[in-house]
Amino acid sequence: MTTHYNEPSDGTKSGRDEKVLDRLIAGQIDVVAGTFPIKQSTNTYADFSATMLFSEQKYLVPCPKPFMKTEKILTIFNLSLWISMGLVFIFVSVLLWILSNYPTPRRYFNGFNMLAQSFSAAWAVLLGISVPQMPLSLGTRYLFITYVWYCFAISTVFQAFFTTYLVEPGYEARLETLDDVYRAGLTYALLGKPEANKNSANAKDMEIFGSETFTDIFEAIKSVMFTRSNFMSIGTLYPQYIARLSGFVDMTNVVCYLEESVVTWPMGVILTEGHPLLQKLNIHIKRCIEGGLLEREWSKIYHDTNLKANKTNENSEYVVFNLTHVSPVFMLLFVGYILSLFSFLCELVLFRRKNKLIDSVKFKQLNILADLRALEESK
C-alpha cells in the first residue's frame, strides 16, 4: 500500500472543507485527517473513525490590559475618602490655630500662632515628619495625638497598597458576555468575503457588531490577541498555537474567551464509506490514546513551537521589584522638587518686596521726622 499526501487547497476553512469532501466523494482521496469536525451531515457518504479529541469553538476576545501604575495609585482611595482627609486636615489646622490664640499663656502655643504655621504642622504630621514645636496644653495635646494616630493609620494603609500597586497594578475586567463585547466596541474578524458568509452561523454577529475581513486565519487571530480591535468565533487550538509561536508560555493573559462555548466538535479521521482500514484505524487510535501518545505528541508540538518563537514573553508569578516599579515615586519626587523650588522663589520675591516696602516706609518716616524737626527749629 502506497501513501500519497495531498496538500489542502487555498481559501477559507469552510471552502477548503467543502473541496476536501468533494474530492473524497469523487474517490480522489481515501483518508482525511486534520482539524476536520465530525458532522452528522457527512455520515451519508463517509465513515468516521473513533474520536481522537474534542475541539471547542468559542468567542476569542482580547484579554484584559494591565492597569497603568500611576492610574492605579491615584485610585487607592476613593473620592469620598480623599475629601474626608482634606476636611480633617483643614479642621485640625484651624482648631490648632484657634487654640493657640485662645487667652492662655502664649508660651504654650508660640509655634501655632499663625494660621500658616498650623497648616504646616498638620501637613508635616500627615507626611510623617516632625513638627517645629509640640503643644503643651492638655486639650491641644489630646487633639494632636488623635490626629497623629489618624495620620499613622491612613499612611500605613496607603503605603501598603502603594507598594502592591507599584509591583502588580492588576488587570481590567474580563469580557464575559457578548454584551460586554458590544460595549467594548469590538468588530467581528471575518475570514473570507462577507458575501460568502451571509448564510453562515456568523451572519448575525456580522450584522450586530460589524466585520473586518481577513484572508489569513493567523492575521485574524493576531488582530484579536495583540491589536485588540476585534473578536471572532474559532476553535481553541489555533489561538494557543499562535500564542506559543509568539513566545508565550502562560496563556491566561494572552488567550481569552467568553464563558459559553459556541459549539464542541469531536475530531477524527474521515474515510470513504465502507473503507477496509476503518476497524484497524480505530484500534490504533484507541491504543494511542490509552498509551498517552496523543498527549506526548501535543507536548512535543508545544515544545517545538516555543523553540521556534522569536522571543519569550514569560509571565512569572514572582515579580522582581526594580527601578521601573519605583519610577512613579521618583516622578512624584521630581514634581515635589519643582513645586518646592517654585515656592522658594515666590517666597524670596515676596520677602524682597516686603523689605523694600519696609525700607520705603522707614525712609518716609525719617523724612517726616526730619521735616518736623526742621519746622520746630525754624520756630
pLDDT, one tens digit per residue, over 17-73 is 677 777 777 777 778 876 666 666 666 777 888 887 777 888 899 988 877 666 666
DSSP, collapsed to helix, strand or coil, labels residue 335 as helix
Tell me how far apart the 2 most distant CA atoms of the chain are, in Å.
145
Cα separation of 355 and 336, whole Å?
28
Q: Would the pLDDT of 198 be above 70?
A: no
For the chain, percent of residues with pLDDT exceeding 90: 2
Grid cell at residue 307 = 523553540
- Residue 288 CB-density burial (10 A; 0-12 exposed, 13-18 middle, 19+ buried): middle
Residues in the chain: 379
Q: Of 53, 41, 69, 28, which is closest to residue 168 (Cα–Cα)?
A: 69
Calculate helix-pair angle for 293-308, 237-245, nearest 10 degrees.
40
Q: Of 22, 319, 370, 335, which is closest to residue 169 (Cα–Cα)?
A: 319
Cα separation of 48 and 191, whole Å?
27
Number of H helices, E strands in the chain: 12, 8
CA angle 17, 23, 27 (to 5 degrees): 145
In contact, 313 and 245? CB cutoff 8 Å: no
Residue 5's pLDDT band (boundaries 50, 70, 90)? low
One-letter identity of residue 1: M
Residue 90's pLDDT band (boundaries 50, 70, 90)? very high
Residue 88's pLDDT band (boundaries 50, 70, 90)? very high
One-letter identity of residue 223: S
CA angle 90, 91, 96 (to 5 degrees): 100
CA angle 73, 77, 80 (to 5 degrees): 140
**What pTM was estimated for this model as a whole?**
0.57
In contact, 124 and 89? CB cutoff 8 Å: no
Question: In this structure, how many other beta carbons lie within 10 angstroms of the beta carbon of residue 44?
Answer: 7
Least confident of 151-155, 199-203, 236-240, 340-344: 199-203
Q: How far is CA 42 from CA 17, 39, 55, in A?
A: 11, 6, 18
The per-residue pLDDT for range 113-162, each reduced to its tens digit, is 778 888 888 888 888 888 877 776 777 788 888 999 998 988 888 877 77
